[in-house]
Amino acid sequence: MEHLLTYQNIMWFSFILVGFVFIASLFVDSPFGKFASDKMGINLGPRLGWFLMELPAMLGFIYFYSQGQNATNLVPLFFLFVWVVHYLNRGFIFPYLIRSPKNVRGNFSISVVVMGLLVTTLHGYLNGSWVANYGDHLTNSWLSDPRFIIGIIMYYAGFFLNIHSDYIIRNLRSKEEIKSGDKIYRIPFGGGFKFVSNPSYLGELLAFSGFAIATWGPGGIFVLLISAANLIPRSFATHRWYKEKFENYPKNRKVLIPFLI
């Protein structure tokens, strides 16, 4: 009972944090990538910044998952697999594949890393504990529940949209341009970019929506809300940036949701 109370208290703190992040995101663009700034303190390289920020999500989930009474059951093991693959990509593969121009200064603020460490630690704790300990409904029968089926389909649709969109962005610069150190921006085309300026963010939000439905727990809701609080304002800022940067930017391309927004 004491552990459950601790979980509930941390959960409520996490939801309060969502409100704080959303309000802050309305006024300040997270200082990394296109919106990097020296005003927020030390800047790290993007590879190191992404790796450090995402690491607690992987380690935290595995640790708290391992303490759960249901850790050896089939459905929790499935979600452990989903989680490990997701953060192997997000925390290791994605940073490794980033193509940054040679000799360009770091563009990943330490403030983003510090805030990200808090968020991903909470993310790992809330979901790892829920899946392996508090999610009593996550038994074998859950595999045939419509919430699980719909959620997993949504998750993988978002996951692969995110990966493909990152691939398109990554290949906008040639290897020669990267070696020369030229910081060149181009309009991305293809895949989700046919419809929106931010298909990577759309994929991430779709994936976390699916994960929240599939696990049917507060941890999934938290990461969906905290991601939305950060990514929705950033999506509008990115869309404005593209339109200001390129006069020929596609006029029918939406911000985040195809044909709507």
Does residue 73 fall inside a structural domain?
yes
CA distance 158 to 194: 16
Predicted TM-score (pTM) of this structure:
0.88
pLDDT(155) > 70: yes
According to the per-residue pLDDT averaged within each range, which of 86-90, 115-119, 179-183 is highest?
A: 86-90
pLDDT(106) > 70: no
Decide: 258 and 198 in contact? Cβ < 8 Å: no
Stretch 167-194: mean pLDDT: 81
The two most distant CA atoms of the chain are separated, in Å, by 60
Burial class (CB in 10 A: 0-12, 13-18, 19+), 56: buried
Percent of all residues in the chain with a pLDDT value above 70, rounded to a whole number: 88
Stretch 215-240: mean pLDDT: 92
Strands (E), 82-204: 108-109
Residue 114 lies in domain: 2-245
Decide: 161 and 192 in contact? Cβ < 8 Å: yes
Burial class (CB in 10 A: 0-12, 13-18, 19+), 24: middle
CA distance 116 to 123: 10
Does residue 255 fall inside a structural domain?
no
Does residue 198 fall inside a structural domain?
yes
Stretch 2-16: mean pLDDT: 89
What is the tally of structural domains in the chain? 1
Does residue 252 fall inside a structural domain?
no
Decide: 214 and 148 in contact? Cβ < 8 Å: yes
Decide: 48 and 108 in contact? Cβ < 8 Å: yes
Average model confidence (pLDDT) across the chain: 88
Paired with 196 in beta bridges are 254
Does residue 256 fall inside a structural domain?
no
- What pLDDT does residue 112 have? 80
Does residue 219 fall inside a structural domain?
yes
Residue corresponding to tokens 């980033």: 98
Does residue 250 fall inside a structural domain?
no
Does residue 259 fall inside a structural domain?
no
The candidate with the shortest Cα–Cα distance to 35, out of 110, 114, 108, 116, is 108
Stretch 184-197: mean pLDDT: 91
Give the residue with greater pLDDT, 76 vs 47. 76
